[in-house]
């Protein structure tokens, strides 16, 4: 019997780290490079998201794989990866007051977006989405949520491949045969990638994309 892959998603509310003292107590736990980014950030909310994005990765990896020595590197196109162990993959996203980390035994990309005001989304949709997608957004009872759904599905694919950051999102299109999310790349449906939509995070929509069909779970944690 072939064992199905898995994708385990963890998310956390980092609003406690809007407090300068709380943030300072934990900052040394993240990399020097991330500490520098935190120091350069102006808004407390941005600082907290940067901190949380660094804190959640080791917690999530330990929950799934236990204690092990690992090294994280960044690929040429910007995708972080575990360089010294096979079969360990992760993807991080943040939005609003939440950070999220998806951990899998297969290539994975994750994206989470706070549902924005409807009037802010159409200019972005006009730039990146197909006419059919734009119509679906404008006709939806919740255009902002419809936009976030399409955006996070696309972005999770881009992050999974690690190759799409340079080409942008324009050659991509989401379709829903029989209600199942599929992605078209340059007009052709990709049958070898799989999506799971995230609806569990308050006032957010998200998605994970894997290169194999994967059993999905999600857990809220405290950092």
Given pLDDT bands bounded at 50, 70 and 90, which one contains residue 167?
low
Are the C-beta atoms of residues 55 and 223 closer than 8 Å to each other?
Answer: yes
Strands 89-95 and 194-198, by their bridges, are unpaired
Q: Pull the structure tokens for residue 74.
A: 């960044």
CA gap 49, 99 in Å, rounded: 6
Q: Tell me the per-residue pLDDT of 58-106, one tens digit each, with 9 for 90 and over.
A: 999 999 999 988 889 988 878 999 998 899 999 999 999 999 999 999 9
DSSP letters, 109-170, are EEEEEE---GGGTHHHHHHHS-HHHHHHHHHSSSHHHHHHHHHHHHHHHHHHHS--TTT-ST
Mean pLDDT of the chain: 92
CATH number at residue 112: 3.90.470.20
Number of domains comprising the chain: 1
Q: Over 80: is that where the pLDDT of 117 sits?
A: no
Burial class (CB in 10 A: 0-12, 13-18, 19+), 46: middle
The parent domain of residue 127 ranges over: 5-220
């Amino acid at each position: 019997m072939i064992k199905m892959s898995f994708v385990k998603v963890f998310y956390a509310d980092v609003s406690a780290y809007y407090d300068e003292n709380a943030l300072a107590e934990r900052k040394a736990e993240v990399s020097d490079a991330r500490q520098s980014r935190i120091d350069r950030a102006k808004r407390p909310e941005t600082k907290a998201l940067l901190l949380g994005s660094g804190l959640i990765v080791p917690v999530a990896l330990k929950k799934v794989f236990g204690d092990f020595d690992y090294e994280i590197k960044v690929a040429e196109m910007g995708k972080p990866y575990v360089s010294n162990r096979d079969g360990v993959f992760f993807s991080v996203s943040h939005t609003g007051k939440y950070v999220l980390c998806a951990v899998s035994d297969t290539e994975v990309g994750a994206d989470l977006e706070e549902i924005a005001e409807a009037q802010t989304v159409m200019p972005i949709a006009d730039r990146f989405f197909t006419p059919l997608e734009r119509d679906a957004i404008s006709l939806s009872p919740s255009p902002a949520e419809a936009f976030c759904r399409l955006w996070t599905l696309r972005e999770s694919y881009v992050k999974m491949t690690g190759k799409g950051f340079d080409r942008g999102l324009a050659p991509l299109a989401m379709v829903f045969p029989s209600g199942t999310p599929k992605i078209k790349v340059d007009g052709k449906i990709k049958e070898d990638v799989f999506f799971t939509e995230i609806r569990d995070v308050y006032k957010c929509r998200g998605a994970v994309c894997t290169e194999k069909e994967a059993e999905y779970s999600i857990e809220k944690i405290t950092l």
